Structure 1
């Protein structure tokens, strides 16, 4: 009950802020048409004030390194719109909203949109898209569909994609060289990765090297367009054959001597980039590559390369589900038109080309922009970045407001197996029961 009251309070706060924004001075209102210039249906009414304003920007789960923040947001916005100042706000989003410090723009992704909806933050951008004459047909269709899929009724457009985030397998070449193991290749199966891992998971010179960490079960399920919650029954979808197959791979990985030590069983970006003891990590490109490029810029990077995201035999050639980073304008923003100008700039062919040359996978359906990927970034020279574009992304599953709760429980299955030594059937059954119980509690 307290959770519902808190969300109601947040919604009321946002509504009050939205009304305040509407009643305040409206610098973005278009000037009235002259008497001798009748307003044409073809003429855009998207006339925006050039008065100095500050847009508060919040990065929600999306990796936004200092370099990316400067290159993709601060510099181009300052150049194009000197009247718009971007102020990055940090902290817990719910607490910011509760205090009335609601961001104008949220950098998020299509997988983490439900929490924004729970806070009643996203504005339907349909009207702004029409008034600003943004051409959505120029985008990669899967990215727009992924965003439209976030509205249960399929009508609202609650964000605009600005980069596409494929999956890939990154690897540390130095560790492979150290043990004389051939590098990974494109089009590998997860079983191939496991075999490589067995050759690399060993202790040497006081360091325990880990060949591979599978990260999260839902990452491996991604190409199958598998929802977390059954849209018809409202029950969690955990105890199913697909997750059984995935957990068999996790168990095989944990059974390698040296992978599970004490309470340590999971390895991620820190062990891959900072500690330099994890040989392979499959992850979302925009997240892990961002960390890699930042480490390179800081002079503490690794000798890395990349291949296509591995799959199971029955998903050969399929990419992970469509995950797009997106820009969301909040309902409470007093500067919605200016925020839309920023979105127009970030998704323009010119800026998308600049971002592609740097390190971002474009959301525009433009072969020339795709071809230019990484050509302006010395840190990507010689890397197999063609792997990012080899597999077409799979459709995004229908989202549910309880996705994150179920996803958390699915990810917790790793510890139950690695540390508590529970068998796969027990873990699946118990997690299914826990997920259904959690959904029932939140539904009250």
Structure 2
């Protein structure tokens, strides 16, 4: 995903027996250098990361932060290898689906004792996100942000097609009606992007139809539920009508890039990508609330956390940086940059005001009815299979229902094997 991992899948397993230590160092004058790993795009998150590091160094002159940026598609593969070889960053980004794998295999430093010692007030962060980064009663990460989903649209393309802009009253039918008018094959413009992306696309519509991804007890897949199938089919219809690029076309060129280039009139995307679109020259965009499905217009909510590598050579310095990133000051820097919605209580409004003229408030409003990102103890086991299955279902000539039902059986088997 541009700005964040798109599918949040393919976590993989760490090699057993973590050895060695991270690549941080100490100079002759006692100054310690720690590393901080993150993904995203350099132009979107890079300036914010630099501001955070500089602000921390100003208040901690004996600690320097070396920023390690990794492109989205390479981040988890690189991290898995680094964690196994003992060279992972001292502090790095973590997401919900992978916390169980990295924590259970000893790659992450438990933070509960430090939190208690320094009396960090964890109530300042959304409880659902705090709980997401716990395993067996221990806290392994502190939330840095949260994100919800909205309907981004190109105002110039809507004007050209004489279609009214999306509003809070839009339903799935309104999206369909707009799509019938917005595709302009002669200009290489599609109405909407329908990639096989879970958090920003089919998870939302599965829930909006009244379905679910995984049962509350984490024992059953929802991919064979009739309502879930309706939500999955929502996207396939746009593909079948050639109102969206094909899966292959969206693999060759990321649909967020197509949107930036004026080739998509509508695109469901996360709050984290607003700053990227804002920085895209010539793109006349805005964003509307999620259109309502048969049951709701619920959005999937997720959030990232910063974690500390278990084999860091400088655990105290890494903890000081972790605390800063989690602090009100650190979250305020995030908010004012427009990069992400900060997790720290009371700062979301600053983010919403970071791009005057854009309706970012819809992402904050969505949080009140949002559904947590679905995970199980070993999400990675079935997550990659899920994306592969839905990609296949969304490929020309294939049908959604039989493929989704087949995957549901596979997912159920994986869930039953969890310990």
State the TM bucket, normalised to the shorter chain: 0.7 to 0.9
- The structure-2 alpha-carbon separation of the partners of 1:258 and 1:197, relative to structure 1 and needing over 3 Å to count, comes to closer
Question: 1:88 is paired with a residue of what secondary structure?
Answer: strand
Equivalent residue in structure 1 for 2:296, among 293, 307, 315: 315
Q: Does structure 1 retain, via aligned residues, the 8 Å contact 2:194–2:245? A: no
Match of 2:8 in 1: none
Q: Deviations over 1:203-241 (max 9, x none)?
A: 23xx221111243323433677945478565x6442222
Question: How do residues 223-372 of structure 1 correspond to structure 2 at under 5 angstroms?
Answer: 226-228=212-214, 231=217, 233=219, 236-259=221-244, 263-264=248-249, 268-273=255-260, 275-286=261-272, 288-293=273-278, 295-296=279-280, 300=281, 302-316=283-297, 318-321=298-301, 323-359=302-338, 360-366=340-346, 369-372=347-350
Question: 2:185 is paired with a residue of what secondary structure?
Answer: strand
Q: Distance in 1 between matches of 2:213 and 2:315?
A: 33
Q: Does structure 2 retain, via aligned residues, the 8 Å contact 1:225–1:394? A: no
Q: Does structure 2 retain, via aligned residues, the 8 Å contact 1:61–1:109? A: no
Match of 1:66 in 2: 46
Q: Distance in 1 between matches of 2:250 and 2:41?
A: 25
Question: 1:65 is paired with a residue of what secondary structure?
Answer: helix
What is the root-mean-square deviation in Å for CA atoms of aligned residues?
3.5
Q: Distance in 1 between matches of 2:13 and 2:238?
A: 41
Q: CA deviation at 1:436?
A: 5.2
Q: Does structure 2 retain, via aligned residues, the 8 Å contact 1:166–1:393? A: no
Question: How do residues 144-155 of structure 1 correspond to structure 2 at under 5 angstroms?
Answer: 144-148=130-134, 151=135, 153=136, 155=137
Q: CA deviation at 1:134?
A: 0.9
Q: CA deviation at 1:101?
A: 0.7
Q: Distance in 1 between matches of 2:381 and 2:250?
A: 22
Q: Does structure 1 retain, via aligned residues, the 8 Å contact 2:169–2:291? A: yes
Q: Distance in 2 between matches of 1:418 and 1:167?
A: 21
Q: CA deviation at 1:147?
A: 2.8
Equivalent residue in structure 2 for 1:140, among 117, 123, 126: 126
State the number of aligned residues: 389
Match of 1:170 in 2: 152
Q: Does structure 2 retain, via aligned residues, the 8 Å contact 1:265–1:418? A: no
Q: Distance in 1 between matches of 2:232 and 2:240?
A: 12
Q: Deviations over 1:385-408 (max 9, x none)?
A: 111111215353663244234333
Q: Deviations over 1:2-44 (max 9, x none)?
A: xxxx957x34124x649xx9xx99xxxxxxxxxxxxxxxxxxx
Question: 1:372 is paired with a residue of what secondary structure?
Answer: helix
**TM-score where L is the length of structure 1:** 0.76
Q: CA deviation at 1:178?
A: 2.0
Question: 2:224 is paired with a residue of what secondary structure?
Answer: coil
- The structure-2 alpha-carbon separation of the partners of 1:88 and 1:174, relative to structure 1 and needing over 3 Å to count, comes to same
Q: Distance in 1 between matches of 2:358 and 2:391?
A: 34
Q: CA deviation at 1:258?
A: 5.0
Equivalent residue in structure 1 for 2:193, among 195, 208, 213: 213
Gaps of 5+ in 1: 1-5, 26-49
Q: CA deviation at 1:128?
A: 0.8
Q: CA deviation at 1:121?
A: 1.6
Gaps of 5+ in 2: 1-11
Q: Deviations over 1:282-307 (max 9, x none)?
A: 12211x224324x44xxx35111111
- The structure-2 alpha-carbon separation of the partners of 1:111 and 1:279, relative to structure 1 and needing over 3 Å to count, comes to farther
Q: Does structure 1 retain, via aligned residues, the 8 Å contact 2:144–2:305? A: yes
Question: 2:372 is paired with a residue of what secondary structure?
Answer: coil
Q: Does structure 1 retain, via aligned residues, the 8 Å contact 2:13–2:101? A: no
